[in-house]
Amino acid sequence: MDEISLEAAPVLGGASLELSGNRIVERDDLAIVSIATPLGGEDALTEALRNEWPLDVPEPTRSSLSGEVRAVRTAPDQMMLIFPHATPDAEAVVQERLGGTGYTTDQTDGWIVLEVAGPDTLSALERICPLDLPSFEIGGTGRTVMEHMGAMAVRTGEDAFLLLSASSSAASFLHAVETSYRYVT
Amino acid sequence: MIINHPLLGPRDAAEFVVLGDACLIDRPDGMNAASEEMHDYAYVRDNPAGEHRELWYHEQGDRSWLVVTRSTLTHDVIKVELARDVARARGRSR
């Protein structure tokens, strides 16, 4: 039998759009691993993150950054690590460094990440996002609904955001974001 | 309606799902309670005109359960607490 070799394809085919000086780029290089805090294990997890990366446990509505590794607070006892990682073993890599101080789940395939940036970003997003994005500090984050799709936003710069949404409705999400940019540019 | 989430600040009610009267937290022990007591827990609710405590679930947000005290007459949101804090304050372990 012939050898079968498969190559992973980006969910949105590596989408990359340029709209009047604004950019929408699919970040296919990022792995996403959620870390849940064991009951009563906050201190051990905080220490492990600080020793290994070093990363602070982000406060609610915030994310913390160490090099290219970002920890995003998603729930009272949960955060997500988002970082560039080429192989499909992100969860094992994170768990090994945590040494059992957190419950990890690989979420890479569940999400798509859009990197949006440019001067019209805030006015494009305010049309579809109920969060008060202009009031976010850099590193601020929130989870909400955009065009009926669950989504997360992380402010990475004055005019730049990471937008996360479900990979199962990725094309619709990209369409919503792109359409909103077209309305304002 | 805006719900002032204790961790996240003001959020639109569209992000939440309402689950009804907060008395659901006080479930009787099903192994010992009389059937009358279980019946009342499952089916009987007050319908107050005025202040009402309700469970809300932040489904399109941080997935936390909240106890929202609001007025059914004016829709004013008076107080918002994390449901787990409320349960712990009543001696529940988590």
Q: How does pLDDT run across A45-66, given as a tens digit for each residue?
A: 999 999 999 999 999 999 999 9
| Neighbour tally for B68: CB within 10 Å | 23
Give the HSE-up count for residue A184: Cα atoms under 13 Å, Cβ half-sphere: 18
Please give the span between the terminal C-alpha atoms of chain A, in angstroms, as a whole number.
54
The whole-number pLDDT of residue B81 equals: 94
Give per-residue pLDDT as tens, B13-22: 889 999 899 9
Closest by Cβ to B62, choosing from A39, A143, A145: A143
Domain that holds residue B84: 2-89
Number of Cβ atoms within 10 Å of the Cβ of A19: 16
Is residue B42 a part of any domain in this protein? Answer: yes
Residue in A142, A180, A185 with CA at minimum distance from that of residue A161 = A142
CB contact under 8 A, A74 and B62: yes
Model confidence pLDDT, tens digit, residues A25-42: 999 999 999 999 999 999
Nearest to B60 among A74, A76, A145 (CB): A145
> CA nearest A74 in B: which residue?
B62
CB contacts, 8 Å: A41 with chain B: none
Place of tokens 């990022």: A30
Mean pLDDT of A10-15: 92
For residues B69 and A58, give the distance between their C-alpha atoms in angstroms, rounded to a whole number.
29
CA distances from A27 to A31, A74, A119, B10, B67 (A): 10, 20, 20, 30, 38
Q: Which pLDDT belongs to residue A14?
A: 92
| Residue A114, C-beta contacts closer than 8 angstroms, at least 6 positions apart | A15, A24, A25, A26, A27, A162, A163, A164, A165, A173, A174, A177
**Coil/strand/helix, residue B55:** strand
Q: b vs e for A67-96, b when ≥16 Cβ sit within 10 Å of the residue's Cβ?
A: eebbbbbbbebbbbbbbebeeeebbebbbe
Say which CATH number the domain at B6 has: 3.30.2270.10
pLDDT digits (tens, 9 = 90+) for B57-83: 999 999 999 999 999 999 899 999 999
Contact A180, A128 (CB under 8 A): yes
In a domain, B94, yes or no: no
- CATH class for the region spanning A16-184: alpha beta
pLDDT in tens, A89-137: 999 999 999 999 999 999 999 999 999 999 999 999 999 999 999 999 9
Number of domains comprising chain B: 1
pLDDT at B94: 56
Residues in a beta bridge with B57: B17, B65
The helix or strand, by DSSP H or E, that contains position A183, with its residue range, turns out to be helix A170-184
Query: Are residues A150 and B94, on separate chains, in Cβ contact within 8 Å?
Result: no
More confident residue, A163 or B31: A163
